[in-house]
Amino acid sequence: MPTILRTGKLRIVIYLNDHSPPHVHVIGPEGEAKIELGRDHSKPRLSRNDGLSAKEVAAALAAIDESANLLMEKWESLHGDGKLD
C-alpha cells in the first residue's frame, strides 16, 4: 500500500489489490476512512469512516481535492482507468 500523500498525522494510500470505483484510504492514529475520488470535476466523497474525527475527515477531503489529478493518475497507473464494467 503505497503512501501517496500525508497531511498532518494522516496517510493517504492506495491499496495495490483494490477495486473500482477509484478511491483512497486515509489512515490516522485512531482509525481509517475510505474516500472516493471525484470524477469529471466532482468533489471527493466520504464512503466509510471507521474512527477518524470530523476534523481529520475534513482535512483529508481537502488534501484529496487539492491533489485530485495526482491521485487519479496514481490510481490509473495501478488499476487502470477505474471505469465500472
Q: In what order do the strands lie in the sheet with 23-28?
A: 3-7, 10-13, 23-28, 31-36, 45-50
What's the pTM? 0.89
Annotate 39-72 with b (16+ C-beta within 10 A) or e (fewer). eeeeebebeebeebeeebbebbbebbeebbeebb
State the Rg of the chain over Cα: 12
8-57 per-position pLDDT tens digit: 999 999 999 888 899 999 999 999 999 999 777 789 999 999 999 999 99
Residues near 18 by beta carbon (within 8 Å), at least 6 away in sequence: 78, 79
